[in-house]
C-alpha cells in the first residue's frame, strides 16, 4: 500500500459526459502528479501541483483540468469525454522538494480505470 488513495476505482460513462477523479496524497507529501496510462500512449504525465499551486503541465488536453485543495487532496476533471479518453488514470505524490528535477520517488495510487462508451 503506497499510502496514496484514489477514488473511484472504476468509472464507466458515456461520450460527452464529465467526470471527476479524486486523489489523496501520502501524509506529508505536498506534491501531487497526474498520469494517464493507455495502450497506445503508454504512461503520460498530465499535470503537477505543489501545495495548491500548478507547477507543471504535460500532455493534458484543454478538456481536462485539475486542482489541489488546501487539505492537499487533488481532483482531475475530465469533460466532453471521448472514446479515446478511456484509460487508467494515476495519481502520485512525492515528498517536499524545492524544484526540478523531481528528485524524490513518486508513490502511485491504485489508479482509476475510466471507460468511455
By CB under 8 A, name the binding residues for another protein: 2, 31, 33, 35, 42-43, 45, 48, 55-56, 58, 88, 90, 92, 100-103, 105-111, 113
Pair 23, 74: CB distance under 8 Å: yes
Contact 4, 93 (CB under 8 A): yes
Cβ proximity to another protein: between 25 and 111 the closer is: 111
| CB-based contact 71:56 (threshold 8 Å) | no
Pick between residue 19 and residue 107 the one whose CB is nearest to another protein: 107
Give the nearest distance from C-beta 16 to another protein in angstroms: 27
To the nearest whole angstrom, how small is the minimum distance from the Cβ of residue 111 to another protein?
A: 6
**In the chain, beta strands by DSSP E:** 5-7, 10-13, 19-24, 31-38, 42-50, 53-57, 64-68, 74-78, 87-94, 107-108, 112-116
Minimum gap (Å) between residue 81 Cβ and another protein: 21
Q: Between residues 14 and 27, which has the closer beta carbon with respect to another protein? A: 27
Amino acid at each position: 500500500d503506497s499510502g496514496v488513495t484514489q477514488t473511484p476505482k472504476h468509472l464507466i460513462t458515456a461520450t460527452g459526459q464529465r467526470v471527476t477523479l479524486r486523489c489523496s496524497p501520502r501524509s506529508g507529501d505536498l506534491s501531487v502528479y497526474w498520469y494517464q496510462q493507455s495502450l497506445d500512449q503508454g504512461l503520460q504525465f498530465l499535470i503537477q501541483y505543489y501545495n495548491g499551486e500548478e507547477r507543471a503541465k504535460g500532455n493534458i488536453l484543454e478538456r481536462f483540468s485539475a486542482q489541489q485543495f488546501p487539505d492537499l487532496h487533488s481532483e482531475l476533471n475530465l469533460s466532453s469525454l471521448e472514446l479515446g479518453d478511456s484509460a487508467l488514470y494515476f495519481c502520485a505524490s512525492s515528498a517536499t522538494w524545492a524544484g526540478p528535477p523531481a528528485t524524490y520517488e513518486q508513490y502511485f495510487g491504485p489508479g482509476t480505470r475510466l471507460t468511455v462508451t
